[in-house]
C-alpha cells in the first residue's frame, strides 16, 4: 500500500486531473486537501469530458472512495451542481463521496468580497477566479469561518451567519461601496444545502486514519500549483492555501509519517492564469501557437492562459519545496510542431546569474531567463505508448529536463485521454503501485 501526494509543480493546470485519473485504478482512496472551486481538473474519458472543481478526479472510477478534506473550502451551491451533473452522467456518489465536517464554507459574501477587493487593487489585482476562495480562507484564519458541521446545527449556523453578515456588510458598504446581504436570503438556501449534503458530511480524518491503518492506498490530489502556494509561491500573486506537499498532511489529518511519497506534475512548457511574475512568458504569435495547440484556456473562467517555455529554475524550486520523488510530465505533444524549443536554466539579474528562484518581487520583475536551445522533433507524439517509440529528439528533451530538475520522470502524457500515457519502467511509480507493471506490458 502507498500513500502518495500529487502536486502541481508550476502555476496550476499542469494536468493533475488526468494524472490522478490514470493512477486511480491502483488506489483505494483519493482525497483533495486544499483549494476550492477555483480548481478546474479536466479528465477526458473516451469522448466525454469532465471538469472536476471540488470533487477529487478519482470519482470517475467506480468504487473508489473520494474525500473532500478539511483543508478545502466548499461552496455548497457549486458542489451540489457538480454532484448533480456527475450523477446525471452515471457517476455513483453515495458510499463513495465523503466531505470533512471541518471543511470551511464559501458563503455568498465571499465571492462578493473577492470581486470588490480585486476591483480596489486595480493594477495590482491578483486576477483571482472570483470564487471567494481567498476571503473564505481569511475567515478561517480569523476564526470566524463557518464549517460544514455548523451547517447541520441550525441554531449555531444562524448565530454565526448573523455575526458574519453584520461585519461583512460594513466592509462591503463602507470600504467597497458594494451591495450588502440579508441573513434570511442566505439562511434559506444554505439550510436546503445542509439537507442535501448531510449524508456526505463526516469525520474524514478519522476515516482516513482507519483506512491508512488497514493498508489502503491513497492519492492526495493537490489543486493549483507550487508557485501559487501561500507561503512558497510568488506572493502576493498566489492562491490562499498550502498547495505544496506539506498541505496534504494538515489538509486531511493524515500524519506526515504515514505519507510515502510525492509525485510532481509538470507541463512540458509553462502556463499561468492571472497576474504575477512569469519569467519565461512568451508574447504574441509564439504564445498563441502554444495556447492554440495546448488549448490553454482556463477551465473555470475561460480566460486565455499566459504561455511560456519550461522553466527549470521553477522546476528545481518545486522539487526542493515538495521533495518530489518523481515527476509526471504532461502535454509533450503540444510541442510537436516546434522546430526550436527553449528551456530556461537560470535567470540573469543585473549581471548576476541566479540559479535559485528569487523570493523578491523586485527581482522577479527584472530577472531575464537564460535559455538553452534544443531542436524540436517535428513529429507527432500523440498516442505514443512507450518511451522507445518517442522520436529521439523528444527523448533528449525529456532527459535534459529531468537532468535539470534533478528527479526522474515516471509518466509522460502525450494526449488528454487516459491511453495517451507512457509509463516509465522501474520508476518510483511502479514501486508504489506494483500493479502498474501489468499496464506496461
Q: Is 221 in the site for Mg ion (CB under 5 A)?
A: no
Partners of residue 346 on adjacent β-strands:
370
Q: Active site includes 419?
A: no
Please state, in angstroms and rounded to a whole number, the distance separating the CA atoms of residues 7 and 260: 14
Does position 305 bind ligand GDP by CB under 6 A?
no
Q: How far is the CB of 384 from ligand GDP (least distance, A)?
A: 11
Q: Give the x-and-dash track for 279-318 against Mg ion (CB under 5 A).
A: --------------------x-------------------
Q: Which does residue 101 touch among ligand GDP, Mg ion, ligand IMO, none (CB within 5 to 8 A, set by kind)?
A: none
Q: Is the dihedral of CA 309, 310, 313, 317 positive or negative?
A: positive
User: Is the sign of the CA dihedral 73, 60, 197, 212 positive or negative?
Assistant: negative
User: Quick check: 414 binds ligand GDP (CB under 6 A)?
Assistant: yes
Q: Are 290 and 227 in contact (CB under 8 A)?
A: no
Task: Please select the residue that binds ligand IMO; options are 96, 224, 234, 330, rule is CB under 6 A.
Answer: 224
Enumerate residues 123-142 that contact ligand IMO by CB under 6 A: 126-129, 131, 133-134
The option from ligand IMO, ligand GDP, Mg ion, none interacting with 217 (CB < 5 to 8 A, set by class) reads none
Q: Which of 13, 139, 150, 420 is catalytic?
A: 13
User: Residue 111: which of 75, 146, 80 has the closest Cα?
Assistant: 75
Residue 316 near residue 342, CB atoms below 8 Å: no
Under the criterion CB under 6 A, does residue 306 sit at the interface with ligand GDP? no
Q: Does 13 bind ligand IMO (CB under 6 A)?
A: yes
Active site residue 260: no
- 410's enclosing H/E stretch is strand 409-413
Three-class DSSP category at 353: strand
Partner touching 18 among ligand GDP, ligand IMO, Mg ion, none, CB below 5 to 8 Å by kind: ligand GDP
189: CB partners within 8 A, 6+ apart: 77
Residue 221 makes contact with ligand GDP by CB under 6 A: no
Report the nearest approach of ligand GDP to the CB of residue 189 (Å). Answer: 28
- Of 170 and 303, which has the nearer Cβ to ligand GDP? 303
Return the number of other C-beta atoms located less than 10 Å from residue 292's C-beta: 12
Active-site position among 21, 41, 114, 420: 41
| CA 106 – CA 104 distance, rounded (Å) | 7
List Cβ<8 Å contacts ≥24 apart for 356-363.
Answer: 356/313, 356/316, 356/317, 357/313, 357/314, 357/316, 357/317, 361/234, 361/277
Q: Which residues bind ligand GDP (CB under 6 A)?
A: 8, 12-18, 40-42, 44, 299, 330-331, 333-334, 413-416
Q: Which residues bind ligand IMO (CB under 6 A)?
A: 8, 11-13, 38-41, 126-129, 131, 133-134, 223-225, 228, 239-240, 273-274
Q: Which residues are catalytic?
A: 13, 41
Amino acid at each position: 500500500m502507498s500513500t502518495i501526494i500529487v502536486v502541481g509543480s508550476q502555476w496550476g493546470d499542469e494536468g493533475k486531473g488526468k494524472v490522478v485519473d490514470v493512477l486511480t485504478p491502483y488506489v483505494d482512496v483519493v482525497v483533495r486537501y486544499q483549494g476550492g472551486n477555483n480548481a478546474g481538473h479536466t479528465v477526458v474519458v473516451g469522448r466525454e469530458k469532465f471538469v472536476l472543481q471540488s470533487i477529487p478526479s478519482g470519482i470517475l472510477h467506480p468504487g473508489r472512495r473520494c474525500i473532500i478534506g478539511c483543508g478545502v473550502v466548499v461552496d455548497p451551491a457549486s458542489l451540489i451542481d457538480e454532484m448533480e451533473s456527475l450523477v446525471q452522467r452515471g457517476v455513483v456518489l453515495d458510499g463513495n463521496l465523503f466531505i470533512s465536517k471541518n471543511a470551511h464554507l464559501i458563503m455568498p459574501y465571499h465571492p462578493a468580497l473577492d470581486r470588490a477587493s480585486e476591483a480596489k487593487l486595480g493594477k495590482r489585482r491578483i486576477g483571482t477566479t472570483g470564487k471567494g476562495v481567498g476571503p473564505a480562507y481569511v475567515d478561517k484564519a480569523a476564526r470566524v469561518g463557518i464549517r460544514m458541521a455548523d451547517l447541520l446545527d441550525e441554531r449555531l449556523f444562524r448565530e454565526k451567519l448573523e455575526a458574519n453578515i453584520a461585519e461583512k456588510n460594513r466592509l462591503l458598504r463602507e470600504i467597497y461601496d458594494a451591495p450588502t446581504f440579508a441573513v434570511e436570503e442566505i439562511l434559506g438556501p444554505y439550510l436546503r444545502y445542509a439537507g442535501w449534503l448531510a449524508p456526505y458530511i463526516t469525520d474524514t480524518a478519522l476515516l482516513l486514519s482507519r483506512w491508512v491503518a488497514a493498508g489502503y492506498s491513497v492519492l492526495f490530489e493537490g489543486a493549483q500549483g507550487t508557485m501559487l502556494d501561500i507561503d512558497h509561491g510568488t506572493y502576493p500573486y498566489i492562491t490562499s492555501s498550502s498547495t505544496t506537499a506539506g498541505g496534504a498532511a494538515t489538509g486531511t489529518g493524515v500524519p506526515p509519517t504515514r505519507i510515502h511519497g510525492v509525485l510532481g506534475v509538470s507541463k512540458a512548457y509553462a502556463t499561468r492564469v492571472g497576474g504575477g511574475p512569469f519569467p519565461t512568458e512568451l508574447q504574441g504569435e509564439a504564445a498563441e501557437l502554444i495556447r492554440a495547440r495546448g488549448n490553454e484556456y482556463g477551465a473555470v473562467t475561460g480566460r486565455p492562459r499566459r504561455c511560456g517555455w519550461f522553466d527549470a529554475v521553477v522546476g528545481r524550486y518545486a522539487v526542493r519545496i515538495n521533495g518530489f520523488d518523481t515527476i509526471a510530465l504532461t502535454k509533450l505533444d503540444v510541442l510537436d510542431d516546434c522546430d526550436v524549443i527553449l528551456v530556461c536554466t537560470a535567470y540573469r539579474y543585473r549581471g548576476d546569474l541566479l540559479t535559485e528562484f528569487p523570493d523578491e518581487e523586485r527581482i522577479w520583475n527584472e530577472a531575464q531567463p537564460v535559455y538553452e536551445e534544443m531542436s524540436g522533433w517535428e513529429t507527432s507524439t500523440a498516442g505514443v505508448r512507450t518511451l522507445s517509440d518517442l522520436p529521439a529528439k523528444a527523448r533528449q528533451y525529456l532527459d535534459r529536463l529531468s537532468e535539470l530538475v534533478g528527479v526522474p520522470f515516471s509518466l509522460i502524457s502525450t494526449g488528454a485521454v487516459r491511453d495517451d500515457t507512457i509509463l516509465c519502467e522501474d520508476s518510483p511509480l511502479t514501486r508504489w503501485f506494483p500493479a502498474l507493471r501489468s499496464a506496461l506490458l
